Amino acid sequence: MNQGLKKQQAADAAIELIEPGMSLGVGTGSTVNCFIDKLPRVADRIAAVAASSHETRRRLEAAGFTVSELSETGDLDLYVDGADEANKHFHLVKGGGGALTREKVLAAASRRFACIIDDSKWVATLGKFPLPVEVVPMAQSYVARQMVRARGQPILRKGFVTDNGNAILDVHNLAITHPLDLETRFNQIAGVVTVGIFAHRPADIILMATDAGIKRFDRR
Ligand code: 5RP
């Protein structure tokens, strides 16, 4: 089965999690775009919806939804988002689409976080995918030097500005063997806005599309 079909499958599985009266947070990326395309089917079940990026807001509005700010919705019942990598501890690397800061906020503010992936994202150790780190622009070279000290190879995402007006460093060649510790450590670096490790707020549910169908993992 090709990756496009797997993304559709994962999106279908996430649609089934939506119960009547739910407030919903929506992530960013190509897998989530499949989810947004299917969302009008269950529009009558959704009490409010918040978006993790300008792009997601635009797509939700095009699909007929009124998008609320998190300050209006309060905590959300369910957050649905993709990931660049996921492991069996429900730790993720995110931010390939550059929306990691708002994604982390929505995940933090949600009672349940369902991560939708295809099986190419499943890894034993995080870090093969370059770790996105959102940085305040004037701090980018300072933060880059700290990443080199941590034995990473930071590359500035050229021509990219986040929805928050910041830059992204993609940090290559980090073996993220202790995701909780590294997330904490990188969060301490002055000028870092958000680290793309989602370990302190991991996924609660992973819906992974495989050739054999959807595999669902629930965190206890
Ligand atoms: C965006 C993200 C995405 O969830 C991640 O990049 C996966 O995207 P895709 O579904 O296109 O593979 O973190 O910031």
Of ligand 1's listed atoms, the one at least distance from the Cα of 32 is 10
Indicate which residue's Cα is closest to atom 2 of ligand 1.
95
- Cα(99) to centroid of ligand 1, in Å? 8
CATH topology for 3-122+200-218 is Rossmann fold (3.40.50)
- Cα(91) to centroid of ligand 1, in Å? 14
95 lines ligand 1 (CB under 6 A): yes
Strand pairing class (22-26; 76-81):
parallel
Q: Give the full edge-to-edge strand order of the sheet including 197-198.
A: 85-86, 92-93, 197-198
Which residues of the chain register pLDDT less than 70?
Answer: none
- Cα(82) to centroid of ligand 1, in Å? 5
Q: Cα 47 to the chain's mean position, in Å?
A: 22
Kindly list the catalytic residues: 103
Q: Torsion over CA of 197, 199, 204 and 207, rounded to 10 degrees?
A: 40
213 forms beta bridges with 210
Residue 132, helix vs strand vs coil: strand
The size of the chain, in residues, is 220
**pLDDT the model gives residue 143:** 98
Of ligand 1's listed atoms, the one at least distance from the Cα of 30 is 11
Task: Summarize pLDDT for 36-47 with one digit per residue, the tens.
Answer: 999 999 999 999
Indicate which residue's Cα is closest to atom 1 of ligand 1.
97
Task: Map out the domains of the chain as residue ranges.
Answer: 3-122+200-218, 131-196
Indicate which residue's Cα is closest to atom 5 of ligand 1.
83
- Alpha carbon separation from 28 to 51, 60, 98, 193 (Å, rounded): 8, 11, 9, 18
- Cα(142) to centroid of ligand 1, in Å? 26
- Pairwise CA distance, residues 8 & 198, whole Å: 23
- Alpha carbon separation from 6 to 77, 85, 114, 141 (Å, rounded): 25, 15, 16, 38
Burial of 55 from C-beta contacts in 10 A (0-12 / 13-18 / 19+)? middle
Which of 8, 28, 80, 164 has most ligand 1 atoms within 8 Å of its beta carbon, as the pocket-test mutant? 28
Indicate which residue's Cα is closest to atom 7 of ligand 1.
83
97 lines ligand 1 (CB under 6 A): yes
Considering the entire predicted model, what is its pTM?
0.98
Indicate which residue's Cα is closest to atom 10 of ligand 1.
31
**pLDDT the model gives residue 1:** 85
28 lines ligand 1 (CB under 6 A): yes
**pLDDT the model gives residue 195:** 98
- Pairwise CA distance, residues 218 & 90, whole Å: 9
- Pairwise CA distance, residues 32 & 30, whole Å: 5
- N-terminal to C-terminal alpha carbon distance within the chain: 30
Pick the CATH number of 131-196 from 3.40.50.2000, 3.10.270.10, 3.30.70.260, 3.40.50.10320: 3.30.70.260
Task: Summarize pLDDT for 120-154 with one digit per residue, the tens.
Answer: 999 999 999 999 999 999 999 999 999 999 999 99
Q: Torsion over CA of 3, 202, 53 and 8, rounded to 10 degrees?
A: 20
Q: Which residues of 129-168 are buried (b: 16+ CB within 10 A; e: fewer)?
A: bbbbbbbbeebbeebbebbeeeebebeebeeeebbeebbb
